[in-house]
Structure 1
Amino acid sequence: GSLLEKYGTYEMNGIAFSDHDEIWWLETIGGHHWIARRVPDDAYVVMPNQLGIDTFDLKDAFTTQENHLCSDDLKEFIVKNHLCLNLDDSFNARYAFGSHDDSDHVYNTPRDWFIRRYLNPHTYKWDGENADFTPFSDDIPWTMVPERKITVEDVKYALSTHFQNTPYDPYITRGDLSNKGALRPVGINRNDFLSVLQVRQGQEPIEWFTFGSNVFNTLVPLYIHIDTVPEYYSNTTAEVSTDNFYWANRLIGAMADACDKQSAIHIERYQRVVQSHSHHIIHTYDELIEKETDETRKTELRHEANQKAADMLKKETSKTLHLVLDELSFTMKNKFARSDA
């Protein structure tokens, strides 16, 4: 916040700060102004490419600062520019600083709607004529309490979604196709990197990551208190090569997209196998690291765990690449058999 007040910023943006005890979400309003709100311990936040903090307690921000923080002159900035658009004494930061463009209803709010629909399927009515929220709603709450605990796999699924089982799915082949691909999915083709930071109480933090289009890739865990990362992750060059995770995933995504029906089962198995093996590696090395007292040996164990994950991932990724290439080969337009004559 002090950096923003001193140097400013030319655009609006958001960033999360987290540790074992708290998560705060900070939004840059632009210029030298900013706001931040503490995420409730039992809640989650979905943030597409727009500002999302809704209700904001200015009194708390300028007194105890338990759940709200902001730039020192925010009150004067709001008053001077007539930015409080509430009809009562409350202040909705989304009204004041957020965007409500027509393009948001194609690019941003649909992604928010679909992820909430996945994590809170019974809390609200998400579909139909009398839906509480639709892909075009500007008033979806900033935080929600999920209907169950959220796993790393849930986060991966949410960030890989493409409006499955809705009329907006770009892969839909049956029924009314008039809205097919009309809205921007979460798992878009130009995804190149996804990171999920798992801050764990009393255990080593884990960064799960992956490359390529999220619909077709899989997360792999990485112990982060290390000096180097396995070569399979780090040896990416501008030249396409199946010897690194980045290009292998890019190839799988491009080919699986072209024959999505035939490849779907291979992608599902790829993701499940890597996830299950990854958890086994984490459970094994968590125990070893926890028992070890020597810091040098702890670092060695982290490197060992990361390399085991990389070796497993390379094997499963190569296998999936082979299977998807095989499926795509059978869809080539120049295929021919004697019986076709």
Structure 2
Amino acid sequence: MKSILIILLINLVIIFRSKKVYACTGTYVGSKVSKNGSRLIARTEDIGSAHPKSVIVYEKPFWDNNLYIDKITGFEYKMPNHFYKYYAVPDSDGNNDDGIYDEVGFNEFGLSISATVSSYCKEEINNIDSLIEKGLREANIASLVLSTCKSARESILFLAKIVDEYGACECNNIIISDKEESWYMEIVSGHQYIAIKLPEDVVAVIPNCLMIDYVNLDDDENTIYSKDLINMPKENNLLKFRNDKFSIRKTYADDLGSYDRDRLWGGQNFLAKSKNRPYDYDFELFFKPDEKVSVKDIMELQKYRYEDTKKDANLAINNIDGFEVRPIGIERQAECHIIEIKEEFPREAPGLLWLCLGNAEHNIYLPYFPNIKSVPEVYSNRFHNFNENQAFWIFRAQGTLAELNRDKYGSNIRKYWSNHQDELIKEQDLKNKEFVSLYKKDKSLASEYATSQINEIGNIFYNKAKNIYEELFKYVASEAGRAAEEKYIPSEMKETSI
């Protein structure tokens, strides 16, 4: 009975704090401006705090007769005869809710995808090239690409062909990577799109808006775009310019609102503080960071609530009726990820996926190699409601309690996970060398090693999160009687400090 009451209460807390809003924040860091020479592709999936996610290794298609069907919208696509194995991070509820939403993952050829950051086109654009109800949407993109394509460029051409033939249900921003290159695609209306090969000497922070301005459309090596990208708005007197050049963003999208501007201002100043860009700055997609950017830096960016600035989202004054700051580190993150493409890794296993289940603020990112065969059962389990046998719910539950009082409940939890994160990143350097060495000798041995690593650390950190949740629940519950004088400290932190 006691455990049932606890489950019911934590469910109520999580659901109360959840806002079902489709929104994400993406980040890109080129290899020439990253601290260790890796290319970094990152995103927070801000769909809702009570939105369970699972990690699934797909050995075979989940569709029948080579026909992919979106059971929510009716979109259908005839798939090729081949199927590439992949792992991804779908919604636990899948078609019982709003669709598959594989979101992020690697396939057996080393192709990775982060899909998507939702975006929106102008009403005037939608009136002449409407979004298609049965068109391509976010819920389908990662599944289609990872099961079908081998390279980033091939993936962009594949998606472009689908939008040409079937149209798009939504505007979306997508990053697809292989060992050699990353491509960024914006679907900007029902049948129009633009994709560019990402440069290696810049960074980008991408909120829920179209961000590509001018590009050289004659550069076939670095751009892929729909045939009427310019003609359609031109024929309807909707062309817009920036610095006397055709601007895709200004033509297809509304001006920035605070929902997106908050994150551009916060993200660009987080990575390039010396530039001190004002809130009303005319932000561009790419910029140069002050210093080379590490994986840990991006983890901290995904937690960032503009602390120590005038827009600190933790301050009551910034969250009053009619005004609410939109932080990057928002409570409704369902998962956060960083794809790290590494120079020394092989082409078919080119890097790591750092994955955080639940929101990042009081949490940890675990490293997944590309060629894993399985994950711990608690990570692949799928439960609609809170269940301690699913890793998502445990990580989400301890974070939810921590954020009820960030100082008293959460400050030491954040330190606890940050210390473990530093250790994991340091240890991963040695594991990466072992993985690469094994891969050169025998790919199957490397795959077994990769699988054993995530199964080992996955269980270790699930148990650590479960211990924090159980301790903190008791601590928070006891506050209803007599408030504790000291902040909550995880027992493991107390033991190691003795």
TM-score by length of structure 2 reads 0.59
Aligned with 2:473: secondary structure?
helix
For the pair 1:79 / 2:225, whether they are aligned, the reply is no
Work out which of the residue numbers 233, 236, 240 in structure 1 matches 2:379. 233
Instruction: Mark the runs of 5 or more structure 2 residues left unpaired by the alignment.
Output: 1-159, 485-498
Contact residue 186 and residue 210 of structure 2 kept, 8 A: yes
Question: Any residues of structure 2 matched to 1:1-341 within 5 Å, and which?
Answer: 1-57=160-216, 61=217, 63-86=218-241, 89-100=244-255, 104-105=257-258, 107-122=259-274, 124-126=275-277, 133-134=278-279, 136-137=280-281, 139-172=282-315, 177=317, 182-203=324-345, 204=349, 205-292=351-438, 293-332=441-480, 334-335=481-482
Deviation at 1:69, TM superposition (A): 2.6
Deviation at 1:264, TM superposition (A): 3.3
C-alpha distance in 2 between matches for 1:275 and 1:238: 29
Return 236-245 or 216-225, whichever deviates more: 236-245
Contact residue 278 and residue 309 of structure 1 kept, 8 A: no
Contact residue 282 and residue 305 of structure 1 kept, 8 A: no
Return 213-222 or 76-85, whichever deviates more: 76-85
1:34-76 Cα offsets, whole Å, 9 max, x none, are 112232211111111111112222xxx2x33243331122232
- Based on CA coordinates, which of the two structures has the bigger radius of gyration? 1
Deviation at 1:280, TM superposition (A): 4.4
Contact residue 207 and residue 260 of structure 2 kept, 8 A: yes
C-alpha distance in 1 between matches for 2:443 and 2:165: 39
Contact residue 312 and residue 318 of structure 2 kept, 8 A: no
Aligned with 1:226: secondary structure?
coil
AA partner of residue 125 (structure 1): N
Aligned with 1:167: secondary structure?
coil
The alpha-carbon distance between structure 1 residues 79 and 170, as it changes in their structure 2 partners (threshold 3 A), is closer
AA partner of residue 225 (structure 1): N
TM-score by length of structure 1 reads 0.84
Contact residue 363 and residue 414 of structure 2 kept, 8 A: no
AA partner of residue 443 (structure 2): E
Aligned with 1:159: secondary structure?
helix
C-alpha distance in 2 between matches for 1:300 and 1:289: 10
AA partner of residue 197 (structure 2): R
1:213-258 Cα offsets, whole Å, 9 max, x none, are 2222221111121221122311242342334321112211221111
Contact residue 24 and residue 38 of structure 1 kept, 8 A: yes
Deviation at 1:81, TM superposition (A): 1.9
The alpha-carbon distance between structure 1 residues 64 and 239, as it changes in their structure 2 partners (threshold 3 A), is closer
The alpha-carbon distance between structure 1 residues 324 and 4, as it changes in their structure 2 partners (threshold 3 A), is same
AA partner of residue 227 (structure 2): D
Contact residue 15 and residue 25 of structure 1 kept, 8 A: yes
Deviation at 1:87, TM superposition (A): 6.9
Which structure: greater strand fraction?
A: 2
Flag as ranges the 4+ runs of structure 1 deviating above 6 A: none
Deviation at 1:260, TM superposition (A): 1.1
Deviation at 1:208, TM superposition (A): 0.9
C-alpha distance in 2 between matches for 1:120 and 1:170: 20
Instruction: Mark the runs of 5 or more structure 1 residues left unpaired by the alignment.
Output: 127-132
